Amino acid sequence: MENVDLILGLFFSDENNLVFDNIKFSESMSDDAREKLKMLSFKFLGPVFLTAASEEGKSWKIQFIESSLSLLQERTREVDIIQSFFNLNSSVESEHGITNLFALIGTPYTEDKKIIYKKMVEYIHPSILQGRYANKALLGDEFKFNRFIKEELSRGMNLIEYYLGKSRKIYWEEQQMYYCVGIMERIISNKEKESYLYTFDIDNPLRKMVLKYFPSYYVMAILPDYYENLVNETLTLFDKTSVYSNIRKIELIQQNKKAVYLEENIINKNSKKSYGVILIPVDNNEINNGNNIPFYKKNLRLILDVNKGLKEVMLKINPDFKFKKWATISDENLNEIRAYIDNKN
């Protein structure tokens, strides 16, 4: 693999939310870009904590973020060879607090993300924690954590890089059944930017019931735009200027709970239209009907490619939704969602 085509970073946050990073970059990177690179770990890890998002959001963690990349038509002569762009986060809770190990990965290949995540969870993250405790017990105040974590992140980066380029496998999770609790519509053009949420009517008891199974509508409405913009910023820093990001999938976990945001998009000239679904697994006694990931992808594509009406597809995805749209573009809009749709009373 040519290093020039590789974007790779590994970030570690300790129980006090102090962040340490190791990012692979080209020697030709400008000084200005290197300075901006120093803030990248804080920006990617920021929403991972979800500390201020909502009362229920405090213990939710982002586990996986994936973007698809589109080519800027005016730059087709200088194509950047990059196909996969994704983030993986391993969170470990202990009596001392929570630590996070977060990977930023962009490569020319369609990667098998599961094997990389397994190495993070089963080897790299435990190695950091066990090594820290052992060295602290052995050396006491002489233990230099900054030097230790730098070496551990470098070792972890080498291990991740070793597993890059392996062909992706199909896993059973694609057939996991999910229930849709919301639909997002995002429209971006040179002239304007719009974003809307569709879900249950405020008085529908289903709205209150599902709130315990994902962070909040407020959180889910913020994440797609936040990470899409952040990936674009990252691509620019690494001089990948012929491609731009489209958020594709975000997975969040809280102990035995899971929430998924899945999105599809279409690009026409100078505008992009995206539709996404907020999903929770069908594995509890309160929800007994749902569909798999391919079902939701297919129906989102029907809106975008076949010009099926949003209302028609919405009734198919979840007939309990109301065709009322909640704007999510401003702080005022988001506060209304927090006050009304996320209200459990």
pLDDT value for 96: 79
Using DSSP, state whether 83 is helix, strand or coil. coil
Using DSSP, state whether 49 is helix, strand or coil. helix
Strand 7-13 relative to strand 97-107, pairing = antiparallel
pLDDT value for 309: 92
CB 67 within 8 A of CB 247: yes
pLDDT value for 50: 54
pLDDT value for 93: 84
CA distance 205 to 237: 46
**What is 273-284 written as a DSSP string?**
EEEEEEEEES-B
Residues in the chain: 345
- Rg of the Cα atoms in the chain: 21
Which residue matches tokens 């704007």? 327
Q: Is the dihedral of CA 149, 154, 158, 163 positive or negative?
A: positive
CA distance 220 to 260: 9
pLDDT value for 256: 85
CB 292 within 8 A of CB 99: no
Considering the segment(s) 3-172 as one domain, its CATH architecture is: 2-Layer Sandwich (3.30)
CA distance 294 to 45: 29
Strand 97-107 relative to strand 84-94, pairing = antiparallel
Q: Tens digit of pLDDT per residue, the chain (345 long)?
A: 444 578 899 999 998 888 999 998 877 788 888 888 888 888 888 766 554 444 444 578 899 999 988 877 655 555 566 778 999 999 988 887 889 999 999 988 888 899 999 999 999 999 999 999 999 898 888 889 899 999 999 999 999 999 988 776 666 666 789 999 999 999 988 878 999 999 999 999 999 999 999 999 999 999 999 999 999 999 988 888 888 889 999 999 988 889 999 999 998 877 899 999 999 999 766 887 899 999 999 999 999 998 889 999 999 999 999 999 999 999 999 999 999 999 987
Which residue matches tokens 């749709």? 341
Residues 179, 183, 188: CA angle, nearest 5 degrees: 150
CA distance 224 to 189: 16
Q: The pTM is what?
A: 0.91
- Type of residue found at 134: A
> 300: Cβ–Cβ under 8 A, 6 or more apart, which residues?
262, 263, 264, 275, 276, 277, 313
| Cα dihedral 13, 104, 30, 83 in deg (nearest 10) | 180
CB 316 within 8 A of CB 245: no
Which residue matches tokens 């980066």? 157
Which residue matches tokens 């930017």? 193
pLDDT value for 273: 93
The boundaries of every CATH 3.30.450 domain in the chain are: 3-172
